[in-house]
Amino acid sequence: MKLPSGPQLPSLLQTLQITAQPIRFLETCAQRYGDTFTLRVLGPKSPPVVFFSHPQAIQSIFTTQAGKLELGKVTHIFRPLTGEQSLIMQDGQRHQRQRQLLMPALHGERLHTYGKLICAIAREAIQEWKPNASLSMQEPMLEISLEIILRVVFGLNPGWRYQQLKELIGNMLESVTSDLYSTQFFFPPLQQDLGAWSPWGKFVRQQQQIRTLIYAEINERRAQPNPDARDILSMLMSARDDAGEIMTDVELVDQLITLLLLGHETTASGLNWAFYWVHRHPQVLDKLLKELDPLGSNADPVAITQLPYLTAVCKEALRVYPIALISQPRLVKESVQLEGYEFEPGAILVPCIYLAHRRPEVYPEPDQFKPERFLNQKFSPYEYLPFGGGTRSCIGMALSMFEMKLVLATVVSRYQLAIAHDRPVRAVRRGITFVPSSDFQLTVIGSRSLSIASNPLGAR
């Protein structure tokens, strides 16, 4: 089997490069080898990993060739985090069943019921900001994102279990985003439980404590059901598949952990970039404020999320630095022809979101932040895919975009902010996401007198 060309470095060096500096490594490979290239990053005897960025190739992987590919087995590195029953671990009918059970709680009009609570959480998190304070936006965005997961997804109200979960989850998420922890997931031999003092042992115990608390919450709700509950966990507990079966407790916990791990850091990182770009380009902020202002003090959160320029700003932030650099890898189970090559069973095909978003023929001046792209043109799901695509697109993408727009609008409506230092900002890895480097900080200039700020985003 003739494969696309790629670096000839030993597998270990390729793995270290894509783990330590993935953006630079992917850009270098694309410049040197073109749209399609082969890496050896899963061990010297592991199958080839082939990256694609051309929209036509990505479309084939998502659609026409999808039946010859499988996915769940490629996600093994996430198993210690999400559990065996997680949606991202499944293939075929089992994946389809779980996706059908999860979808209604995370899309459509169901999202609208969460709008006011999301706005209230954002207001609570920023109400103590003082003039002249210097802010690293990553911290408040992580705080807001975690609160939304606990209250909107888990349906918890402040109390002892809420506080315990908040502390445990916060500590675990902070740990798994460190270089040492994230490296362990790529190198299974490092996954050694040598006691609570060891990195892997600490992670295992944190996971056990979190899962115990979530199981206790599920047991209480099964014993005392609340028919009026509208949080995502309650929706999932009552969801039934075509055979009338509900999700088991293990399935529920694994789905919640998946939503937590893949929805917390990622949405916070997307917001962090949105705040950077909006304040890096004052004309963008001006247009955004002019769009928000006419809505008035009684604006409904849903109306906010439907604003075209606000939507374009969030979309462009996720184009320049998408939540994940790649879409979920596909394992070839039957021979497929793609981009002039034939791939035998065992090869791994990877649609590369980051490189697809940087194609100059699709996005002129791709390094520039230009929200107007999304006002003037509609991009195909193979050109713009910040949440992946096909049957494996991120199940929480609608909630993530809904949250991004409301939080961004809430903050810029209430505060006048400015970039503290005019220093170059780099994208640095934080777990599975990329965030602005620590050079990026905003200074609070003062409160903003925007009309919706006095009664922000529909609070009544």
**Does position 298 have pLDDT exceeding 70, yes or no?**
no
Residue 45: burial class (beta carbons within 10 Å; 0-12, 13-18, 19+): exposed
pLDDT tens, position by position, 309-357: 999 999 999 999 998 899 989 999 999 999 999 999 999 999 999 999 9
**Eight-class DSSP state of 48:** P
Domains of the chain with bracketed CATH: 11-458 (1.10.630.10)
| Residue partners of 306: CB distance under 8 A and separation at least 6 | none
| Strand ranges (E), 151-282 | none
Question: So what's the pLDDT on residue 345?
Answer: 94
Least confident piece of the model among 142-146, 184-188, 205-209, 283-287? 184-188
pLDDT tens, position by position, 188-241: 777 787 787 887 788 888 889 999 999 999 999 999 988 888 899 999 999 999
Residue 448's pLDDT band, with cuts at 50, 70 and 90, is confident
Picking from 423, 427, 407, 405, the residue whose alpha carbon sits closest to that of residue 415 is: 407
**Eight-class DSSP state of 326:** B
Phi, psi for 270 (deg, rounded to 5): -60, -40
What is the rounded distance in angstroms from the CA atom of residue 1 to the CA atom of residue 344? 7
pLDDT tens, position by position, 33-46: 999 999 998 777 78
Phi, psi for 135 (deg, rounded to 5): -120, 130
Write the DSSP assignment of 159-197 as a string of letters. Answer: SHHHHHHHHHHHHHHHHHTSHHHHHHHH-GGG-----TT
Calculate the average pLDDT of the chain. Answer: 89
**Does position 131 have pLDDT exceeding 90, yes or no?**
yes
What is the rounded distance in angstroms from the CA atom of residue 322 to the CA atom of residue 276? 14
Mean pLDDT, range 146-174, rounded to an integer: 90
Mean pLDDT, range 405-415, rounded to an integer: 95
Give just the sign of the alpha carbon dihedral 73, 401, 258, 97: negative
Share of the chain above pLDDT 70, in %: 93
Place of tokens 């990053």: 41
Residue 2: burial class (beta carbons within 10 Å; 0-12, 13-18, 19+): exposed
Picking from 164, 157, 170, the residue whose alpha carbon sits closest to that of residue 120 is: 157
Higher-confidence residue of 270 and 42: namely 270
Place of tokens 């035998």: 344
Instruction: Check if the beta carbon of residue 278 is closer than 8 Å to that of residue 412.
Output: yes
What is the rounded distance in angstroms from the CA atom of residue 397 to the CA atom of residue 255? 15
| Residue partners of 283: CB distance under 8 A and separation at least 6 | none
**Does position 73 have pLDDT exceeding 80, yes or no?**
no
Least confident piece of the model among 74-88, 163-177, 230-244, 334-348? 74-88
Residue 56: burial class (beta carbons within 10 Å; 0-12, 13-18, 19+): exposed
**Eight-class DSSP state of 1:** -
Residue 450's pLDDT band, with cuts at 50, 70 and 90, is low
Q: What is the 3-state secondary structure (H, E, C) of 88-143?
A: HHCCHHHHHHHHHHHHHHHCCHHHHCCHHHHHHHHHHHHCCCCCCCEECCHHHHHH
